[in-house]
A and B are shown apart, each in its own frame.
Chain A
């Protein structure tokens, strides 16, 4: 049954302010880039239907505010996530160093069932800028990812659409796996509740 139902994959993008979360999401979903995106306030999301392993799934990609002051809002948005994307700017060392705290914060607030194996994907963005500006080497990033249980790592450019598709394919794949496991492990809700809801619709005659 699980394989036949329509799947919604919830993906959260986290990372410091200005690393390109909104741009990445828009490049992936709308194939557009603008350097005039305003700082995200609160949260928003876009959806996209994609094929993963011959299955049509809907990805719901959440874009959140990057300033740490707004992290406490996270709990409302992180719940039920199937994959978390940790994003930094390869030209900004600080944005890389905060990945640890974004990861920890996510695990605390989302409290996934199996936090050891929860799927993260790390993205180093803005590789379109000149090499001399680069502050975080690929090696350094990969070492960190390895230390976090071999987290997949991609270097991207939301501006030039480099590696965006590939990254999201992996994100979708890992999210789907997580979602499938969640369904296997979770208790199904009482079916009677659903039926009674459906009956209510019928009864009100609307």
Chain B
């Protein structure tokens, strides 16, 4: 960095710092009522955004320099050369774990160019059967996504329209059978006056209509209004429509007949829109959507159990990977993580632009590292903003506002690199802790029960941390972080 820039940056920081001091000062003196601590302060969110933008500017500069060795647009690396200070949280006793971690080589994550047609077709033999290990395909998609012109083909595999081990001829037959099946399902309501006049149908129809006419309408293919609305009774605000919008309504309605328990729930139209545009036609779009919903349906359960479980897993993950952030969220009564609700419900659909949504979804569909990689993406976004959140945001609603406003500002490749790095760190931490616990357990067994108890009691009493002695094994074991079942499931 040249000296002038450096000075400018320093001034920025000083101003920022003094401003925050002023803010604090006025809080501490002028307003000694409950609102001081209790209430939302738009100023803090503003300050947080500013701090974040300055962080970003200086980081981008550093990256630019370190990236010089990796030419090529999307070939970027991320390394965990600055591990977070894990030892801060004494109650989890991670002191030794951290030391173990530091002796390991840093993790490197890599992003590559998207999978292109040439490479994709090279995966298949003359009969159109996959001839490479599925994992190779998964890795290619995980690392770089898919080029737009072959998405229509590749997505059908990842979304289960047909199986990976099928031949070209088999796939043609499958598609034909699925088309029959789709039209039969659609006729269940399309051709039935009884259904069409039922209250349940009318309600579903209205819900779907309401959401479809406000889903991605800024995108050209949904923006055009070139045909009259098929239902003359529909409200004046949507007198005209287009083929894609109508296809979307029909697919969502047919899905209601395919999965009657679920019904249409808000968020589903967000999931369908890119799938329909990539698949082009109603029939493959329906089945691709069905495949997508197989992964996503628990997000829409009436009792919200699917969402709750994922938010809880994310909570455990934050506690395990970033105790200081966890503590801050706890102190601000934000552990419900509702500011991540939208991220998880529709897989970041509202956080990235259209092209990047397709890209991030296929990375998530690849299941290359694990089947819940979206939680690592969530962790990565929080991780990037952790300092700002901890330093500046003192209320649940401040955090929610800050996070909501991140929409369309999140750099996609950098986030995926960070998510991958965090995944590897997580995996390594679990291994180290398991190893440690089992070795402690071994040591423990070598001691007599009574002796062990007496020693560990005396250790606890004296608050001694006598390293190297195997006698405090039980204490060490107790202080190792607990790896919940939810966390273990992330490694599947």
Contact B341 A67 (CB under 8 A): no
CA distance A112 to B114 in the complex (A): 54
A17-B207, A194-B32 known; A67 vs B236 contact (CB < 8 Å) = no
A79 to B: closest C-beta gap in Å:
9
CA distance A194 to B35 in the complex (A): 11
CB-CB nearest in chain B for A5? B33
In B422-474, the 8 Å CB interface with A consists of none
CB of A72 within 8 Å of the partner chain: yes
Contact A60 B40 (CB under 8 A): yes
CB of B396 within 8 Å of the partner chain: yes
Residues of B within 8 A of A116 (CB): none
CB of B404 within 8 Å of the partner chain: yes
Residues of A within 8 A of B35 (CB): 5-8
CB-CB nearest in chain A for B29? A198
Residues of B within 8 A of A186 (CB): 34
A133 to B: closest C-beta gap in Å:
7
* CB-contact partner of A189 in B34, B207, B400, under 8 A: B34
CB of A52 within 8 Å of the partner chain: no
B220 to A: closest C-beta gap in Å:
13
Contact B300 A76 (CB under 8 A): no
A5-B35, A41-B350, A130-B236 known; A201 vs B28 contact (CB < 8 Å) = yes
CB of B237 within 8 Å of the partner chain: yes
CA distance A8 to B401 in the complex (A): 15
B351 to A: closest C-beta gap in Å:
11
Mark the stretch among B116-124, B211-219, B283-291 that contacts chain A.
B211-219
Mark the stretch among A32-40, A100-108, A144-152, A161-169 that contacts chain B.
A32-40
- 0/1 interface trace, chain A 40-70, chain B, CB 8 Å (1 if under): 0111110100000000001010000111011
Residues of A within 8 A of B203 (CB): 94
Number of residues on chain B facing chain A (CB within 8 A) = 48
Residues of B within 8 A of A17 (CB): 207, 210-211, 266
A101 to B: closest C-beta gap in Å:
15
* CB-contact partner of B40 in A8, A44, A73, A189, under 8 A: A8
Residues of A within 8 A of B50 (CB): none
CB-CB nearest in chain B for A38? B214
CB-CB nearest in chain B for A80? B38
Contact A41 B214 (CB under 8 A): no
In A106-143, the 8 Å CB interface with B consists of 129-130, 133
Contact A41 B342 (CB under 8 A): yes
* CB-contact partner of A45 in B265, B267, B270, B397, under 8 A: B397
- 0/1 interface trace, chain A 61-103, chain B, CB 8 Å (1 if under): 0000111011011001100000000000001001000000000
* CB-contact partner of B397 in A60, A94, A133, A191, under 8 A: A60
B357 to A: closest C-beta gap in Å:
13
CA distance A47 to B395 in the complex (A): 15
CB of B410 within 8 Å of the partner chain: no
CB of B345 within 8 Å of the partner chain: yes
B328 to A: closest C-beta gap in Å:
13
CB-CB nearest in chain B for A36? B217
Residues of B within 8 A of A38 (CB): 214-216, 270, 350
Contact B37 A194 (CB under 8 A): yes
Residues of A within 8 A of B339 (CB): 42
Residues of A within 8 A of B31 (CB): 5-6
In B1-54, the 8 Å CB interface with A consists of 17, 24, 27-28, 31-37, 39-40, 42
Contact B396 A70 (CB under 8 A): no
* CB-contact partner of B266 in A7, A8, A41, A130, under 8 A: A41
Contact A42 B341 (CB under 8 A): yes
Residues of A within 8 A of B217 (CB): 36
CB of A203 within 8 Å of the partner chain: no
B399 to A: closest C-beta gap in Å:
12
CB of A185 within 8 Å of the partner chain: no
B134 to A: closest C-beta gap in Å:
33
Residues of B within 8 A of A133 (CB): 235-236
Residues of B within 8 A of A6 (CB): 31, 35
Contact A70 B34 (CB under 8 A): no
Residues of B within 8 A of A2 (CB): 33
A17-B207, A76-B396 known; A69 vs B345 contact (CB < 8 Å) = no
CB of B75 within 8 Å of the partner chain: no
Hey, which bits of chain A sit against chain B, CB under 8 A?
A: 1-2, 5-8, 17-18, 35-39, 41-45, 47, 58, 60, 65-67, 69-70, 72-73, 76-77, 91, 94, 129-130, 133, 183, 186, 188-189, 191, 193-194, 197-198, 201, 206
28 A-B pairs whose Cβ atoms sit less than 8 Å apart in the complex: A2-B33, A7-B35, A8-B35, A8-B40, A35-B214, A36-B217, A37-B214, A38-B214, A38-B270, A39-B266, A39-B267, A39-B270, A41-B267, A41-B341, A41-B350, A42-B345, A45-B397, A58-B42, A67-B266, A69-B266, A72-B304, A73-B338, A183-B34, A189-B37, A194-B36, A197-B37, A198-B24, A206-B391
Hey, which bits of chain B sit against chain A, CB under 8 A?
A: 17, 24, 27-28, 31-37, 39-40, 42, 203, 207, 210-211, 214-218, 235-237, 265-267, 269-270, 300, 302, 304, 336, 338-339, 341-342, 345-346, 350, 391, 396-397, 400-401, 404
9 residue pairs, one from A and one from B, having the closest CB atoms:
A18-B210, A42-B341, A198-B28, A41-B342, A42-B342, A67-B266, A8-B39, A36-B217, A39-B266
